[in-house]
Amino acid sequence: MRLTRYVAVVLLFLQAPLAVAESRESEGVQRGFHIERLQRVDDMAREYVEAGLLPAVTYGVVRAAGAVHTSTIGNYTDKQLFRIFSMTKPITAVAALMLMEEGKLLLSDPISLYLPEFANPKVLQDDGALAPARRPITVRHLLTHTAGFTYGGYPTEVSKRYGEANLWTSESLAAFSDRVAALPLIAHPGEFWHYSISLDVLGRVVEVAAGQPFAEYLQQRLFDPLGMVDTGFSIELAELPRLVPLYMHREGGMDPAPAEEDKRYLEPSFPAGGGGLISTLDDYMRFAQMLLNDGRLHGVQYLSRKSVDMMMGDHLLAMDPTLKVNEPWLGRTENRGGSVKLGFGFGLGGAVIRDPVANGIPGSVGTYGWGGTGNTYFFVDREEDVSGVFFTQLRPSGTYPVRSRFRAMVYQAMAY
């Protein structure tokens, strides 16, 4: 009798893993996600679209093994093109890391090794005087927005000078780099996190280190092998109808952006590594899946697992624990109140979640992501094997906290 009971218990134990495996992919579960619960993302997006606050939305969820789900709310189609703006930055970061793996640059390299015009950077002080930078600008500084650069549009004297320099009319990346080098820094390198043109300067570093034009390097080393067939810095006039309309926020609604905004994509002055790419949802999901899969996709290794670890590490903690990712516009992308207590650190080309509790959205330490000013966004959580990509076209980012709402709704749909 005891033997019979023992055998029965053993059989139940052996059968249990099979029963668990069968239950994991139950009806309505696709690659570990409750598809019905993912419809909540559609519901959230529909609220914005039907209220006239967003033009339309398309999004996708992917795991290392493949796509989980895509959906479109509004009149977007599969083949339409999107201005991804600053979602260009993680792609530029990957290009730099590929060169590091080839032994052509180091994160610690002063950028003056590649761009001699930055040999003697100066910092504009509060009294208006220029002081020599305390240390060289490095490749890591460019990747983490700690180089001392800025953007035009900030309420600072250096930002004003950026506007006066007409940086975006430069006829090449080399000319752009020369113009930037002639301007003062807003802070000493490595001492202040400030969102900036640093990834655009990095594009010039990449083309010098690679020995070929930046756009050509991306095309040959990333876009073509990844199958990102619709990603690039420019489009032909005949393809312009595929580019979805861009809108500008106004109180209670939105208005079409000026048509001349799109001339930059027909004849770009130079390939802007900080914000110049056009792409599609499918293309960017391929890029995100590659990162999720430790730098590999469809049998091709683009980055080693350890380089992806490096990319998604918190470099601000390593450089200076007092550095904060806390600009008000970024707070508005994550919460309705604009709080800058985001639980963020910064990796290479994108933010990383340092503290999910402080961030206020379920997630994992080390989740990497970034967005664009058109309210495009993506994140990669390698611990949970999930990435989400969210596309719309409304400027500026931070108009609504769609990044955090999207991320929360992707996590709540996980079955395992």
Kindly report, residue by residue over 350-371, the tens digit of the pLDDT: 999 999 999 999 999 999 999 9
Whether residue 11 has pLDDT greater than 60: no
pLDDT at 23 over 70: no
Phi, psi angle pair for 81, to nearest 5°: -100, 145
pLDDT tens digits along 368-394: 999 999 999 999 999 999 999 999 999
Q: Sign of torsion, CA 310 221 217 169?
A: negative
Taking 70 as the threshold, does the pLDDT of residue 122 lie above it?
Answer: yes
pLDDT of 3 strictly over 70? no
Cα separations in angstroms, 398 against 184, 291, 390:
28, 25, 14
Residue 10 lies in a domain: no
Is 9 among the domain residues?
Answer: no
Query: Is residue 48 situated within a structural domain?
Result: yes
Sequence-ordered list of residues with C-beta below 8 angstroms from that of 38, at least 6 positions apart, any chain:
61, 68, 69, 71, 409, 410, 413
Residue 123 confidence (pLDDT): 98
Alpha-carbon span 388 to 386, nearest angstrom: 7
Q: What residue ranges in 65-115 does DSSP mark as E strands?
A: 66-73, 82-85
Distance, CA of 94 to CA of 349 (rounded, Å): 8
Does residue 23 or residue 356 have the better pLDDT? 356
Mean pLDDT of 143-148: 98
- Among residues of the chain, what percentage have pLDDT more than 90? 90
User: What is the structure's pLDDT at 263?
Assistant: 86
As a whole number, mean pLDDT of residues 200-219 equals: 98
- What's the mean pLDDT in 122-140? 97
The residue with tokens 């979640």 is 353
CB under 8 A, 24+ apart: contacts of 238-241: 239/81, 240/265, 240/266
DSSP secondary structure of 129-177: -EEE-SS--BHHHHHHT-SS---TTSSSHHHHHHHHTTGGG-SSHHHHH
CA distance linking residue 372 with residue 396, whole number of Å: 9
The total number of structural domains that make up the chain: 1
Residue 287 maps to a domain: yes
In this prediction, residue 24 carries a pLDDT of 56
* Nearest to 91, CA basis, from 260, 302, 300: 302
List Cβ neighbours of 80 (8 Å cut-off, separation of 6 or more). 242, 243, 244, 280
Average pLDDT score over the chain: 94
In a domain, 119, yes or no: yes
Per-position b or e across 267-305, b if 16+ CB within 10 A of its CB? ebbbbbbbbbbbbbbbbbbbbbbbbbbbbbbeeeebbee
In whole angstroms, give the CA distance from residue 300 to residue 295: 9
Place of tokens 């048509």: 259
Kindly state the average pLDDT of the residues 196-224. 98
| pLDDT for position 27 | 80
Can you tell me the mean pLDDT for 265-289? 97
- Kindly report the CATH number assigned to the domain that includes residue 176: 3.40.710.10
**Radius of gyration of the chain measured on its C-alpha atoms:** 23
Q: Is residue 5 part of a domain?
A: no
Residue 3 lies in a domain: no
Concatenated DSSP letters for 167-185?
GGG-SSHHHHHHHHHTSPB
pLDDT, tens digit, 9 for 90 and up, residues 63-107: 999 999 999 999 999 889 999 999 999 999 999 999 999 999 999
- State which residues form the domain around 303: 29-416
Of 259 and 295, more confident: 295
Position 261 scores a pLDDT of 81
pTM above 0.75, yes or no: yes
Residue that is written with structure tokens 């930046």 in the block: 214
Q: Answer yes or no: is pLDDT of 25 > 80.
A: no
Least confident of 19-23, 88-92, 275-279, 393-397: 19-23
Whether the per-residue pLDDT at 203 is higher than 70: the answer is yes
Contacts of 213 (CB under 8 A, 6+ apart): 207, 271
Tell whether 16 is covered by a domain: no
